[in-house]
Structure 1
Amino acid sequence: MGFSFVSFRTVFLLVCSVFNIDAAGYFENGTALERTAKQFFPFFPVGVVRFENGICTGSGSLDGTCYTRRQCADFDGIGSTSCANGIGVCCVIQRSCGESTQLNNTYFVSPGFPTGFAASSVCTYTIQKIDPSICQVRIDFLTLRLAQPNIMGVCNTDALIVTGGASNVPILCGENTGQHIYVDFNGNTSITISIRSSGLFASRAWNIKVSQIACNCPYRAPSGCLQFYNTTTGTVTSFNYGSVAPQNGTRQLVNMNYGICVATIRGFCGIQWAQTAGTMTFTVSDNTYTFIGDGTIGTAAAQQTGAACTADFVVIPGPILPDGTALTSDRFCGNAFVTLQTFSQPFVMTVVTNGDETGDMGNAGFSMTFTQLSCGMNIFVG
């Protein structure tokens, strides 16, 4: 069965991010709020002033949560702009190594962020459910700069590892700023993000936003979707994608097997996938570009499909060319990607890499765009 969603990010933030409620429900009965109640609501009895702990914009344009000033201080948050008609303060909550949270909308930052963190360490952050209505977290890598994998594509110097969840999350390293993942809770078990670093890497830094998602939220990612997009158009990239790959190694990470899902927007029945314009935007196996310095000249770029794609590839079910020609295989690899369409729902592209990237020297990974197609229409590319 397909799934259908509307595409309003604001609605997601307001409806699907569960509000944090203190032990007294929406009420804050301390003296600070009592004074506020008397000042702003003189005809209401003390204790009836209440407001939702919703999303707000705090310092540094980071998303915060609207709390009372006392709550923000108790949570060791950073209060800046006011909210709830001046009763509350927009509280940005940041945590670092060895800490945990049972609050929504928090940030896991490297020591001294944004300054690079060059030390060898194991830095962990534990995410606990706000309440039983939560089923999932979205983890946004606002900044994630770790050391590159070794020549085999293994994250042997730095590694980001997610444990405790019900989702299969691959080990990540390299440059993943702007990426995101969804992780399902496994019952009431906490989810832990661990970043293991060894050796000197002066640029190592991270700022990771964690948002908890309610079980009944329409923007909850479907099971099996590590990444999820709810727009009619967009760009997706492989983890650690870079426009220039290392000449003596690969950006491609080993042991990938995950789904990139696109929500079916009402009124759209198909989707078109295309290689992003530019050089080296699809090098998924056995790179054939010729290197000179940091640039490239000449190519033997060619798309491969089917039986030729056994180690590293992407899978797009039910593919057809824009002219309507059906393809005989749904696997694609090589150094080029021919624009194709599919009307197979739900819209999922599966990414697979094997356990050793030694033979794929110089791979950059992929950058691809998707465009949803109106029902009854194809997009023909000239």
Structure 2
Amino acid sequence: MLSAVLIFFLTISVRFASSYIQAFETESANRSSKFLGFGIGLVRFVNSNCTSSDGLEGICYNRWECKRVGGITSGSCATGVGVCCIVQKTCDGTTTSNNTYFVNTNFPNSFTGGACTLTIKKLGSDICQARIDFIAFSVNQPDATGNCLSDGLTITGGASPVPTICGENGGQHLYVNFAGNANILMNIYAGGVSNSRRVWNFKISQIGCDCPTQAPSGCLMYYTGLTGTVRSFNYGTTGNAVATRQLTNQNYGVCIAMQPGYCSINWSQTPGDQYSFTVTGDTPTSVTAGTISTNAAAVIGAICTTDYVVIPNPTFTDTAAAANVDRFCGNGFEPLSTSSKPFVLTVVNDATETGDLGNRGFSLDFSQQRCSGVPLG
């Protein structure tokens, strides 16, 4: 009789343990939350973003899940229950989790050359967009006419085209919409002259369709602050009289999220940088003439036909407003304000920089302005 009772309780215990393990494994497969067992109960935590011991942004996982996605643990999260998991991929890798870092082979050492690709796989049907942050991105400069010949980054597979990018672009970012369930492919090609600074580190974040931080359609860049600085790709403070830093074949939108209580936006050249708007024309000549970065070097309207930025319905700060003017080029930018909504700046560069000597692109500061009658604070 005693043996029968023991067998009964052993059977019940085994069934309970089996059900416990099955529930744990099923729940661990869910990407929105994880459970950890401690023998006397379960502790649940959400797979939210976390900051690693090195200051990188990761995902809060349990140790098993972090290992499954190929990540490394760096610090704790969820009050010490979980680990901050950093996922880093290199050439021929595929993203399998949010906040993936894409680095060159042997990073932070220089990439020797060749092709390097990363496949961005959509993580679920509720994902609509990917944001790519250029934590570091340095490859060879374009040729003398702005073409990314030896080195460059191409991004394909998204819902809208992304221009080819090369040169120095650390600190930039861009958004790419997924085209249904298709993957997005990042491809870096590097050949020709070697470069001791040919390195990159991108952070790829996937954004939910209902997320308020999603960039509006048509916005390759998206800023949400009241103030900030927008720079063209490969903009820099160095250059020479022959080559150009400005890239060819660029056509994209830059959007600023209009904040509540703000009705207009001001645009101006970045202070202290006389080259901060050198888009068309002979920049060295403008320097010699002493007109660089002044209103005298600014070109507006229909004359801008090759490379220019578009800001709708501007009102000029220094001069009387001109009617039906929204294109800006030349070697200077006149400060302006616009109440046209949404707040957007469009970049257009044609297929060649021939005749545009020493252009570096643009660095423009923006500042949102309060609506009339709205108090501060």
TM class, shorter-length: 0.7 to 0.9
The yes-or-no answer on 1:330 pairing with 2:326 is yes
Determine the C-alpha separation between the residues in 2 that align with 1:252 and 1:25. Answer: 42
Q: Which residue of 2 aligns with 1:316?
A: 311
Q: Which residue of 2 aligns with 1:103?
A: 97
- The Cα shift of 1:246 comes to 2.8
Q: Which residue of 1 aligns with 2:3?
A: none
Determine the C-alpha separation between the residues in 1 that align with 2:111 and 2:373. Answer: 51
Q: Which residue of 2 aligns with 1:239?
A: 233
The yes-or-no answer on 1:356 pairing with 2:352 is yes
Determine the C-alpha separation between the residues in 2 that align with 1:254 and 1:127. Answer: 26
Q: Which residue of 2 aligns with 1:65?
A: 59
Q: Which residue of 1 aligns with 2:168?
A: 175
Q: Which residue of 2 aligns with 1:306?
A: 301
- The Cα shift of 1:90 comes to 0.4
Q: Please give the secondary structure, in 2, of the residue aligned with 1:76.
A: coil
Give CA deviations for 1:209-265 in whole Å, capped at 9, x if unaligned: 000001111111000000000011000101000112233210010111111100010
Determine the C-alpha separation between the residues in 1 that align with 2:172 and 2:125. Answer: 27
1:23 to 1, 25, 29: 29
Determine the C-alpha separation between the residues in 2 that align with 1:127 and 1:117. Answer: 21
Determine the C-alpha separation between the residues in 1 that align with 2:284 and 2:32. Answer: 60
* Structure of higher CA gyration radius: 2
The yes-or-no answer on 1:342 pairing with 2:338 is yes
Is the CA contact 1:143–1:207 (under 8 Å) kept in the aligned structure 2?
A: yes
- The Cα shift of 1:92 comes to 0.6
Is the CA contact 2:154–2:164 (under 8 Å) kept in the aligned structure 1?
A: yes
Q: Structure 1 residues 87, 309: closer, same or farther in 2, change over 3 A?
A: same
Structure 1, unaligned runs of 5 or more: 1-20
Q: Structure 1 residues 281, 323: closer, same or farther in 2, change over 3 A?
A: closer
Determine the C-alpha separation between the residues in 1 that align with 2:155 and 2:53. Answer: 28
Is the CA contact 1:288–1:300 (under 8 Å) kept in the aligned structure 2?
A: no
Determine the C-alpha separation between the residues in 1 that align with 2:99 and 2:244. Answer: 34
Q: TM-score, normalised by structure 1?
A: 0.85
The yes-or-no answer on 1:282 pairing with 2:262 is no
- The Cα shift of 1:112 comes to 1.0
Q: Please give the secondary structure, in 1, of the residue aligned with 2:67.
A: helix
Alignment of 1:159-238 (within 5 A): 159-199=152-192, 200-238=194-232
Is the CA contact 1:59–1:92 (under 8 Å) kept in the aligned structure 2?
A: no
Determine the C-alpha separation between the residues in 2 that align with 1:260 and 1:309. Answer: 19
Q: Structure 1 residues 210, 22: closer, same or farther in 2, change over 3 A?
A: farther
Amino acid at match of 1:307: A
Determine the C-alpha separation between the residues in 1 that align with 2:290 and 2:319. Answer: 29
Is the CA contact 1:146–1:204 (under 8 Å) kept in the aligned structure 2?
A: yes
Is the CA contact 2:282–2:355 (under 8 Å) kept in the aligned structure 1?
A: no
Q: Please give the secondary structure, in 2, of the residue aligned with 1:126.
A: strand
Q: TM-score, normalised by structure 2?
A: 0.87
Q: Which residue of 2 aligns with 1:139?
A: 132
Q: Please give the secondary structure, in 2, of the residue aligned with 1:192.
A: strand
Cα-Cα RMSD: 1.9
Determine the C-alpha separation between the residues in 2 that align with 1:248 and 1:185. Answer: 39
Q: How many residues align?
A: 341
Q: Please give the secondary structure, in 2, of the residue aligned with 1:289.
A: helix
Alignment of 1:364-375 (within 5 A): 364-375=360-371
Give CA deviations for 1:16-39 in whole Å, capped at 9, x if unaligned: xxxxx852465657xxx32xx33x
Determine the C-alpha separation between the residues in 2 that align with 1:231 and 1:27. Answer: 31
- Structure ranking higher in helix proportion: 2
**Matched-pair identity in %:** 49
Is the CA contact 2:116–2:189 (under 8 Å) kept in the aligned structure 1?
A: yes
- The Cα shift of 1:75 comes to 1.8
Determine the C-alpha separation between the residues in 1 that align with 2:32 and 2:58. Answer: 17
